[in-house]
Structure 1
Amino acid sequence: MENSGEAPAIESSREIYLRLMTEDSTAEWEKKWEEGETKWDLGVPTPIISHLIDTGSLPNGKALVPGCGTGYDVLALACPDRYVVGLDISKTSVERSIKMFSTLPNAKYFSFLCEDFFTWESDGDFDLIFDYTFFCAFEPALRPLWAQLMDKLLKPGGELITLMYPIDDRIGGPAYKVSAYEYQKVLIPLGFEATSIEDNELAVGSRKGKEKIGRWKKTSTLHSIL
């Protein structure tokens, strides 16, 4: 075969997404919620988030919880000083959350949306994003796109909190194995600074010893090209 002299085309992040995230994969998540196969759903707010709220360690303003599931973390974070958007791809999950929580006293400080994080059109400007093991739920090839969207959604100076799990030697997924380095290699080039990466001492059950909490500050004002 002759060499045309042209460099091979580099597959864009969007092209990778369209190749990996099919209608079947979306239906699989919907089926899990319909059948109650949601072992990741604690039924209460994530302990580390409750701790950070109680100690006043989180920024106020506008917050996002992608892959929020039932939305207990959304409820915990929502307050007069912080409006929270809970995002999930499952219609069943979102409808249940709205039914369960829409009459709560703090309901005016949160909302639930049924959207695909990777195609969701948002004006961004979030002060805080909490990734509750969302990073491990999709194919590792999508992690650069995840980082680019976090960059797009956060305000300069905003904070991203990542609950890093599972840190182990498993093959395949979901959940796909992670490490602190996997986060660093996609976030740091976009201008994120790791302000802390620590073992999560409040990890629940079998997650103890397999989970870290990462806190990232967006220091750059430049968005990558999606």
Structure 2
Amino acid sequence: MNNLDKEYWENRYKEKQTGWNIGYISTPIKTYVDQIKDKSIKILIPGAGNSYEAEYFWQNGFKNINVLDIAKQPLENLKKRIPKFPNNQLIHGNFFNHKGSYDLIIEQTFFCALSPNLRKSYADTISDLLNPNGKIVGLLFNFELTDSGPPFGGNTNEYIKLFGSQFNINILKPSINSIKERQGKELFFIFEKKGNGVNQKYHTKSQGN
């Protein structure tokens, strides 16, 4: 297994070894975004990479969106594409050290890039960052977890065991509209942080999956 540190990811961008970068927002996440009605919600995309998700949010009227990555290059790439994107919402840092409160966190090829021994810390950090009844939404890979990553895989039972104590598993099922290269290999999910309060109105039924 590689040493998946800041230098590793900086080099991947420098050498243009970014096979996860599809160049546009993935269809399952786009379908979800298109159903959100409240555009004032506070959003975080951790391990965002070039973050075409953030670009799509921005173009569709969401301005309270925060993009975090341990590598600086992808943040600069996003700023070039959206010059008006606020600098203070481009966060160059370590996800596990980040502090904040969010209504929605988007997961897109970040979880699968982490060393598997960090998965419990990932779940804990997500829970800490979400407001009560806040949600993490996105895609998880559905193939055997081995040491030959990234990307690292997993399965439904593993994800339920990892997230189930802190989150309500609203949706976790095979994605029906993945991009061609990932068809049959992805699970679409909506996990809601357990807590008191009224469910927030901007989260809808099945997000097209």
After TM superposition, the score normalised by the length of structure 1 is: 0.77
Task: Indicate the residue corresponding to 1:66 in structure 2.
Answer: 46
Task: Indicate the residue corresponding to 1:224 in structure 2.
Answer: none
Task: Indicate the residue corresponding to 2:186 in structure 1.
Answer: 211
1:1-226 to 2 correspondences below 5 Å: 25-56=5-36, 60-78=40-58, 79-80=60-61, 83-103=64-84, 107=85, 111-120=89-98, 122=99, 124-165=100-141, 167-169=142-144, 171-172=146-147, 173-190=149-166, 192-220=167-195
Q: Is the 8 A contact 1:63 1:82 kept in 2?
A: no
Q: May I ask how many residue pairs the two structures share in their alignment?
A: 194
Gaps of 5+ in 1: 1-19, 222-226
Q: Is the 8 A contact 1:88 1:117 kept in 2?
A: yes
CA distance in structure 1 between the partners assigned to 2:38 and 2:140 by the alignment: 18
CA shift, 1:170, in A, is: 5.7
SS at match of 2:190: strand
SS at match of 1:61: coil
Q: Is the 8 A contact 1:60 1:81 kept in 2?
A: yes
CA distance in structure 2 between the partners assigned to 1:46 and 1:162 by the alignment: 10
CA distance in structure 1 between the partners assigned to 2:88 and 2:107 by the alignment: 17
Q: Report percent identity of matched pairs.
A: 26
Give the direction of change, closer, same or farther, for the CA distance of 1:218–1:132 in structure 2 (3 Å limit): same
CA distance in structure 1 between the partners assigned to 2:195 and 2:35 by the alignment: 27
Q: Is the 8 A contact 1:135 1:143 kept in 2?
A: yes
CA shift, 1:114, in A, is: 1.0
CA distance in structure 1 between the partners assigned to 2:38 and 2:106 by the alignment: 10
Give the direction of change, closer, same or farther, for the CA distance of 1:70–1:81 in structure 2 (3 Å limit): closer
CA shift, 1:30, in A, is: 0.6
CA shift, 1:110, in A, is: 8.6
Q: 1:160-184 deviations in whole A, cap 9, x for unaligned?
A: 113111x223632111112122222
Give the direction of change, closer, same or farther, for the CA distance of 1:220–1:100 in structure 2 (3 Å limit): same
Q: 1:34-90 deviations in whole A, cap 9, x for unaligned?
A: 111111111111211211222337875100000111111012123545511011111
Q: Which has the larger radius of gyration?
A: 1
RMSD: 2.5
Structure 1 segments of 4+ aligned residues over 4 angstroms from their partners: 57-60, 79-82
Q: 1:95-144 deviations in whole A, cap 9, x for unaligned?
A: 222222124xxx35993211110122x2x220000111211111111111
